Chain A
Amino acid sequence: MWKFALLVLQNLGRNPLRTTLTVLGTMVLVAVVTLVWSILDFLDKQTAEKSNNLKAIITERWRAPSQMPYSYVRGLSEAGATEPDDFRPLDSMTWAFYGGTIDPKNRTRENSVFAFCMEPEKLLTMMDELDEMQGEPKAEFAATVEKLKQNRRGIIVGRELLANLNKRVGERMVLYGFNYKDINLEVEIVGLFPDSRYNKSSAINIEYLLSALDSYKREHNGTPHPLAANPVNIVWLRVPDMAGYQRASDQILNSPSFSNPAVKIETLASGVGAFLESFRDIIFGMRFLLAPAIIATLALVISNAIGISVRERQMEFAVMKVLGFRPNQLLGLVLVESLLVGTLAGFASAALTYFITNDYFGGINIQIAFFSKFYIPQAALWWGPLMGVGTALAGSFLPAWTARSVKVSDVFAKVA
């Protein structure tokens, strides 16, 4: 078969300008489809993710800031489930806010600490952004979280906060509470938040806050701290989807356990979900109408270029038939010729799009809603060429068929 390869190559060299234009046309269109398809793929994944894994926020209904008794935590973190077939959330998290300063005489923004008092392990599974970490950074932060679990008086701080306080990891400090008046916490900095939205925040084990409130009561002859009855500010739930959210909401709102004070439950995604639903139709349309339309255009362009070249060679194909070339051999020669162009152009184009987008630009920022950076998936490296091949096949089949069906007796006809 290799003996025919030269034949194919020499035909490609017949009209270098046309071959080049065909290659360029293919490359441009493959690049466009690659980009469109990548964006769609990305949006689709994000949409599926965001509407399939959402968090619900439970707060006190009538008061701001929200304050709920600690006794609510157990029930709320189960979404008020009591029966075996009641809905149970995937995960939960409790937040109590604590604000304190290391210099009570001269409190400034710089020497103040704002802390999430919470269950340490939830830092990894429930905190926005932190719950999406992977690999090395995740393992590193998990080790820090482990230290917080071991050391009840530990605190994890953000990088900016650490700098503002002028402290180092391992140092101790006393926080003088300002929302929890007279609740002073003696904390040891066990580690840092990863570089994230938490750079100015800190996290303390909620057990420490609760035990500090207990100590207060003992030290004040049994009089509890004014905030001790309602230390919980927010309870978070992770639910699998909107249906799960709906059930969690029904169970909690109908439960008598959470009526005094009354609570409310919301989800960021209830708005977003509806927004994404409409998005999905657009994505569907783009993917199954726009992308095929582009591919069809590509096929037409290629088909036109190959068609011209085949028509020009009509006589040559007839001569080849006279010499004994079988119809299918001619079909094959024309198809292989365009497949070669399609595959190479498709691959070159997808590879270029991939490396320029991902490596040169470092991903593309699309400013739609809450989506993050977007990259060309690696799969583009094979579906680019595949697209080139597919369109080349579609585009060259008709011309190839013409070549196949050329009439041999034309060769002796007097018109040349």
Chain B
Amino acid sequence: MPADSALVRVSGIHKFFTRGSERVDVLQNLSLEVPAAQFLGLMGPSGSGKTTLLNLIAGLDSPSEGEIWVGDQEISRMSEAQLARWRTRSVGFVFQFYHLMSVLSAYRNVELPLLLLPLSAAERKRQVLTALEIVGLADRIHHKPGQLSGGQQQRVGIARAIVTDPTLIVADEPTGDLDAKSAEEILDLLQELRTSLGKTIIMVTHDPRAASRADRVLHLDKGRLVNETRAEV
């Protein structure tokens, strides 16, 4: 049952982990829809399950119960191998600590996900350069991560997230490790991706100022959605 207008549809999911004999319920009866081309902020206290939810939506883990649809695919039913393939094409990941390969240049880092797709070297090159252009790092392509500032590294991270042209971008505290100015620039960039490229973005953040850049903010507490704040336009 494909979604009407929503790109992401989470319905009635439970997620628990077992620590030894103890069962820890992290997400409980959680439902959520994210329309295409929405910039969604996820907030909540530490341990409330934000990362867990993001991992489920991005296909890094599967829910214990419930369904997750992204576009017309039910990712909660996919095997690990199917999920891996799906992730390469359909989701871009932006990490708090960038997680770039230290030995690879900006160019090679951005190219990494493309190695998994059946593309010619010329096609890869075109896509990598486009992505680096979008994040404004066309002049830094041969730099290694160690030669870039935190903000620049995060831009490389974002370029890597969009290089396969996925519809969905997930970001777990993408500004958490940046100074205010760099954070602003990254948030500008994310907004730009949503407005000019129509990406759907789900961003976890502790920072109310970052959250205020989102179209819509959801609050999570003890594994449940509590209330919703609509960004004032």
Partner-B contacts on A (CB < 8 A)? 3-4, 6-7, 10-11, 13-14, 315-316, 319-326, 329, 408-409, 411-414, 416
B103 touches A412 (CB 8 A): no
A14–B99 Cα distance when bound, in Å, is 16
Q: A10-B108, A324-B84 are in contact. Are A411 and B99 (CB under 8 A)?
A: yes
Q: Mark B126-166, 1 if CB is under 8 A from A, else 0.
A: 00000000000000000000000000000000001000000
Which listed residue, B51, B55, B88, B103, touches A324 by the CB 8 Å rule? B88
Q: Which residue of chain A has its CB nearest to the CB of B97? A: A416
Q: Does B101 contact A (CB under 8 A)?
A: yes
Chain A residue numbers with a CB within 8 Å of B115 are: 3-4, 7
B87 touches A324 (CB 8 A): yes
Q: Which residue of chain B has its CB nearest to the CB of A11? A: B103
- Give A330 Cβ to nearest chain B Cβ, in Å: 11
Given contacts A324-B88, A411-B93, 14 further A-B contacts (CB under 8 A): A3-B121, A4-B115, A7-B104, A10-B108, A13-B103, A316-B102, A320-B112, A321-B84, A322-B93, A323-B87, A323-B116, A324-B84, A324-B89, A412-B51
Chain B residue numbers with a CB within 8 Å of A10 are: 103-104, 108
B95 touches A324 (CB 8 A): no
Q: Does B230 contact A (CB under 8 A)?
A: no
Q: Does B61 contact A (CB under 8 A)?
A: yes
Chain A residue numbers with a CB within 8 Å of B87 are: 322-324
- Residues in B80-119 with C-beta less than 8 Å from chain A: 81, 84-85, 87-89, 93, 95-97, 99, 101-104, 108, 112-113, 115-116
B103 touches A323 (CB 8 A): no
11 pairs across A/B with beta carbons < 8 Å?
Answer: A3-B121, A319-B95, A321-B84, A323-B112, A324-B85, A326-B81, A408-B60, A408-B61, A411-B95, A411-B99, A412-B95
* Residue with the greatest number of chain A CB neighbours at <10 A, chosen from B55, B115, B172: B115
A14 touches B116 (CB 8 A): no
A408–B51 Cα distance when bound, in Å, is 12
Q: Which residue of chain B has its CB nearest to the CB of A9? A: B103
- Give A410 Cβ to nearest chain B Cβ, in Å: 10
Chain B residue numbers with a CB within 8 Å of A413 are: 51
Chain B residue numbers with a CB within 8 Å of A323 are: 87-88, 93, 112-113, 116, 160
- Give A214 Cβ to nearest chain B Cβ, in Å: 93
- Give B226 Cβ to nearest chain A Cβ, in Å: 22
B113 touches A324 (CB 8 A): yes
Partner-A contacts on B (CB < 8 A)? 51, 54-55, 60-61, 81, 84-85, 87-89, 93, 95-97, 99, 101-104, 108, 112-113, 115-116, 121, 124, 160, 172
* Complex A-B, nearest 3 residue pairs according to Cβ-Cβ distance, in ascending order: A324-B88, A416-B97, A319-B99
- Give B196 Cβ to nearest chain A Cβ, in Å: 24
Which listed residue, B55, B61, B93, B103, touches A14 by the CB 8 Å rule? B103
A409 touches B116 (CB 8 A): no
A413–B51 Cα distance when bound, in Å, is 8
A170–B115 Cα distance when bound, in Å, is 81
A13–B54 Cα distance when bound, in Å, is 35
A319–B160 Cα distance when bound, in Å, is 11
A329–B115 Cα distance when bound, in Å, is 11
Chain B residue numbers with a CB within 8 Å of A412 are: 51, 54-55, 60, 95-96, 172
* Residue with the greatest number of chain B CB neighbours at <10 A, chosen from A316, A326, A412, A414: A412
Q: Which residue of chain A has its CB nearest to the CB of B86? A: A324
- Give A352 Cβ to nearest chain B Cβ, in Å: 29
Which listed residue, B55, B84, B113, touches A409 by the CB 8 Å rule? B55
Chain B residue numbers with a CB within 8 Å of A315 are: 99
